[in-house]
Amino acid sequence: MTKTIIFNIVKRKKIPNNFLNLEFHRNYPCHFEQFNEAISILVFLEYRPSKTLNEVEYINKLKAKLKKKYNAYSIEVGTLDKQLN
């Protein structure tokens, strides 16, 4: 039986603060401003597990590998069944 798992990978990227002018900062003083952009990537994994596979450990290891590969802010794990219902 083939199973499908979806990894929703969210990366965060800083946006330069060069679009706010001096007049804006005079009217709304703030000590710290940082704009971030969220980029979402969906990765689908189809696999056929063996009888001895520890699926929880397998998924957690894959999640850690993907987080390192994409330098991700967060990763959510779901199944195709949950997404369709």
Cα separation, 61 vs 63, whole angstroms: 5
Angstrom CA distances, 36 to 3, 20, 42, 73, 80, stand at 35, 15, 20, 11, 29
Conformation bin of residue 71: beta by default, left when phi > 0, alpha when psi is -120 to 50:
left
Domain count, the chain: 1
Region 13-17 average pLDDT: 83
Say what the pTM is: 0.71
Assess whether pLDDT exceeds 60 at residue 42.
yes
Q: Domain containing 39: what range?
A: 3-84
Assess whether pLDDT exceeds 60 at residue 8.
yes
Angstrom CA distances, 84 to 48, 58, 78, stand at 20, 23, 11
